Amino acid sequence: MAYQQPALLYAENALEPFISAKTLGFHYGKHHVAYITNYNNLVAGTPFDSLTLEEVIALTATDAQKVGIFNNGAQAWNHSFYWNCLTPNGGGNPGEELEAKIIRDFGGFDKFKDELKTAAATQFGSGWAWLVLEGETLKVVKTANAQTPLTSGQKPILTIDVWEHAYYLDYQNRRPDYVATVIDNLLNWDFAEKNFKKGRA
Ligand code: MN3
């Protein structure tokens, strides 16, 4: 089944001034679309065509012959997840239950934010910084290129795209400024809370 790009839940200019309509137009409208188009072309007419995107990601993650399918499929998934991690008037604090768990697992909400910033800043080259649930524990992890915590048995709660295309038009080389701005102004804690509750179920 061809994977269809989910609709953005906000207008392309809704994240301004923090992420410009120009960045979102290229990122959602060109980069993400290209991953999905490549993925659909690669799986068309193969046995993967009848599987869900998540199933194909799991099956191709360790298969060197299928690296093109994995890279494009995982990037399709990661981006669809990332759009939901952002929201106009986001940032602030999580809901009570998730915030209590963050404080328990990281030693404080500010400590969690620092860990996420550090992971995002120190991911060498392209990749992603994540809040994940691993077993019963919340963790911050980073992944390179198209890699996704889905293949490590971790449940994604939130992510920040740190590929240059996510911020270069707005922040140039200042990745830490982009990350701090997203954390403070755009993170969608309602979405995170849903992922947390689903992950614990
Ligand atoms: Mn991207």
Question: What value does the mean pLDDT take over residues 1-12?
Answer: 95
Neighbours of ion ligand 1 (CB under 5 A): 161, 163, 166
Indicate whether 1 pLDDT > 80. no
Compute the distance from residue 165 Cα to the ligand 1 centre, in Å: 6
Compute the distance from residue 85 Cα to the ligand 1 centre, in Å: 13
Count CB neighbours of 174 within 10 A: 13
C-beta of residue 5 within 8 angstroms of C-beta of residue 32: yes
Compute the distance from residue 76 Cα to the ligand 1 centre, in Å: 9
Compute the distance from residue 12 Cα to the ligand 1 centre, in Å: 15
Compute the distance from residue 126 Cα to the ligand 1 centre, in Å: 9
Compute the distance from residue 45 Cα to the ligand 1 centre, in Å: 27
pTM over 0.95: yes
Question: What value does the mean pLDDT take over residues 18-25?
Answer: 98
Cα separation, 60 vs 173, whole angstroms? 33
67-105 per-residue burial string, b: 16 or more CB within 10 A, e: under 16: eebbbbbbbbbbbbbbbbbbbeebeeebeeebeebbeeb
> Which comes out higher in pLDDT, residue 77 or 200?
77
pLDDT band at 201 (very low <50, low <70, confident <90, very high): confident
Beta bridge partners of 130: 141, 159
- Cβ neighbours for 197, distance < 8 A, ≥ 6 positions apart: 97
The pLDDT tens digits for 107-154 are 999 999 999 999 999 999 999 999 999 999 999 999 999 999 999 999
Cα separation, 201 vs 193, whole angstroms? 12
Residue identified by tokens 């990745």 is 175
Compute the distance from residue 164 Cα to the ligand 1 centre, in Å: 8
The pLDDT tens digits for 154-195 are 999 999 999 999 999 999 999 999 999 999 999 999 999 999
Domains detected in the chain: 21-84 (1.10.287.990), 96-200 (3.55.40.20)
Residue identified by tokens 């400590």 is 111
Compute the distance from residue 161 Cα to the ligand 1 centre, in Å: 6
Compute the distance from residue 127 Cα to the ligand 1 centre, in Å: 8
Backbone φ/ψ region at 143: left (φ over 0), alpha (ψ -120 to 50), beta: beta
Question: What value does the mean pLDDT take over residues 68-91?
Answer: 98
pLDDT band at 48 (very low <50, low <70, confident <90, very high): very high
Residue identified by tokens 């994995």 is 70
